[in-house]
Structure 1
Amino acid sequence: MTRVTQVRDLGVHLTPELTFREHIIKICKKAYRNLGFVLRQSQGFTNITTVRVLYDALVRSHLEYGGVIWAPHEAKYSVMLERVQNKFTRHLYWRLYGVYPLYPLMYPTLFVLGMVGYNQLKVRREFALILYIIKLLRGKEHNPGVLRCLCLCVPDRYVERRRRPPLLSVPTARTNLLAKTPLTRAIRTINEIQNNIDIFSCQFSELARMILFILCYKLD
């Protein structure tokens, strides 16, 4: 009987250490292969929208599937994922403006992303996570296991009117790994959003814009 060192469940690879490092490496390799195919086959395309659709369907879908679960907290693996998209956005910038944004121009990555209309992958992962948690709080999604972990913050003493208490209680974390869990990250961001907008009564379109603005400002 062969010893199994990895298990694949719903497309996500798990290791005995309960980390997703191998999963991230594998999806990056697959995304690079698909990206090369897209760039080769779209050389003669004149419609940029078609190139975007191909990238979103064949490349970015692999980089984002299940991202709420395996989102890396280590900079090494986050950069590894971003490099795949950065290669495409540089190519797209060249197709749109006729200039390749590398040496000698050396345009910043965020500038190139903004010019071609894309956000960082880590921003999109956090956006999907926070929006899912807010839908749970508003009763739009059903997940009792996660909802049970969300505790409303009730102050035990008088709170000044000028100071608004946080909406959710942030779990105490003794390790860096626990502090970077998806639920803890989402709770911290929701508390920041709650200071500017009511997440229970605001329309989802306005709420999504506010979340995206805060994430872009915080993660950049």
Structure 2
Amino acid sequence: MDGTPMLRVSEVKDLGVRLNAELSFRDHIIQCCKKAYRNLGFLLRTVGGFTNIRAITALYNALVRSQLESNAVVWAPHEAKYSLMLERVQNKFVRFLYMRLYGVYPFYPLMYPTLFVLGMVGYNEIRSRRELALVLYIFKIIRGKLFNADVLGQVSLRVPDRYVWRRRRPPLLALPQGRTNLLNKAPLARALGTLNVVAERIDLFCCTRSELTRVAMQGKVRLAEGSFAFKQATAGFARRAAPAHRACPPSLVNTIFTTT
């Protein structure tokens, strides 16, 4: 350009988000995990003598979880590989926090389920928080709190005729149809699918943000409770739980997600 050769780059960083030549956020997720692990290691070394649990959680939320959720509306992965990579950072902290609260390390040899440990320390999965942030973003656009004409133009309402209404109640929002899994798992499609589930219980055009958050998180909890992996993990926990450990009885496994 103007006699100056342009350099070929394989990665672009815009507002803290890395995008590679394949239009993938894989490198960004890996860098987020590396930085979060560094901050988590510094945190665990620093809070060794702390007795205030609120101070420990505040430091984690500020130094570590903020790295895992910054601009997550843009780069939130749908692949299980990268989602698990992000979850492992928080799982390491919640096991440490569980030991500080109850005096027992929940990993080996007890092998408590991760969802159980998260509920006992009052945390949610990072994946659920990312999906909630995405849903709230689309919700604000629909309600007119944010302006994004490109996204709003892709949100369509279903208007059924009388015959369709008599057969079944259709979803409120039309889901974009993609020919590949990448398009079907796009952020907009995931957010609209969650909003359709929430719209079955509350009115999206009259509810408050807190009501939407509560219903959306309850929906995520029900999906987790009904999964085969969760049932297998809780069953294994009930068999392996030590009788002498009374801080977390197995009976709480069935009710822990309704109280957090």
Q: What is the TM-score of this pair, normalised by structure 2?
A: 0.81
CA–CA distance in structure 2, aligned partners of residues 21 and 216 of structure 1: 27
For 1:41, the equivalent position in structure 2 comes to 46
What is the identity, as a one-letter code, of the residue corresponding to 1:109? T
Instruction: Choose which of 113, 116, 119 in structure 2 pairs with 1:114.
Output: 119
Contact 1:38–1:55 (8 Å) recurs in 2: yes
Kindly, what percent of the aligned residue pairs are identical? 63
**Secondary structure class of the residue paired with 2:48:** coil
- My pick for the range that moved more, 35-44 or 148-157, is 148-157
For 1:216, the equivalent position in structure 2 comes to 221
What is the identity, as a one-letter code, of the residue corresponding to 2:204? I
Instruction: Choose which of 39, 60, 64 in structure 1 pairs with 2:65.
Output: 60
Instruction: Choose which of 137, 146, 150 in structure 2 pairs with 1:141.
Output: 146
What is the identity, as a one-letter code, of the residue corresponding to 2:11? Q
For 1:92, the equivalent position in structure 2 comes to 97
What is the identity, as a one-letter code, of the residue corresponding to 2:62? A
The 1:157–1:16 alpha-carbon spacing in structure 2 relative to 1, beyond 3 Å, is: farther
For 2:27, the equivalent position in structure 1 comes to 22
**Secondary structure class of the residue paired with 1:42:** helix
Q: For structure 1, which runs of at least 5 residues remain unmatched after alignment?
A: none
What is the identity, as a one-letter code, of the residue corresponding to 1:218? L
Q: What is the TM-score of this pair, normalised by structure 1?
A: 0.96
For 1:190, the equivalent position in structure 2 comes to 195
Contact 1:164–1:195 (8 Å) recurs in 2: no
Taking only aligned residues, the RMSD between alpha carbons, in angstroms, comes to 1.4
What is the identity, as a one-letter code, of the residue corresponding to 1:57? A
Deviations 1:100-127 (A, max 9, x none): 0011110000000000000000000000
Instruction: Choose which of 159, 164, 171 in structure 1 pairs with 2:164.
Output: 159
Deviations 1:159-181 (A, max 9, x none): 33473221111111100000010
Contact 1:12–1:66 (8 Å) recurs in 2: yes
Mark the structure with the bigger radius of gyration: 2
**Secondary structure class of the residue paired with 2:108:** coil
Instruction: Choose which of 171, 179, 188 in structure 1 pairs with 2:184.
Output: 179
- My pick for the range that moved more, 27-36 or 203-212, is 203-212
Contact 1:123–1:219 (8 Å) recurs in 2: no
Q: For structure 2, which runs of at least 5 residues remain unmatched after alignment?
A: 1-5, 226-260
Is 2:92 aligned against 1:82?
A: no
Q: Structure 1 residue runs of 4+, over 3 Å off?
A: none
What is the identity, as a one-letter code, of the residue corresponding to 2:34? K
What is the identity, as a one-letter code, of the residue corresponding to 1:90? R
Contact 1:127–1:215 (8 Å) recurs in 2: no
The 1:125–1:219 alpha-carbon spacing in structure 2 relative to 1, beyond 3 Å, is: farther
CA–CA distance in structure 2, aligned partners of residues 207 and 8 of structure 1: 33
CA–CA distance in structure 2, aligned partners of residues 157 and 176 of structure 1: 33
Instruction: Choose which of 146, 169, 179 in structure 1 pairs with 2:174.
Output: 169
Aligned-pair CA distance for 1:197 = 1.0
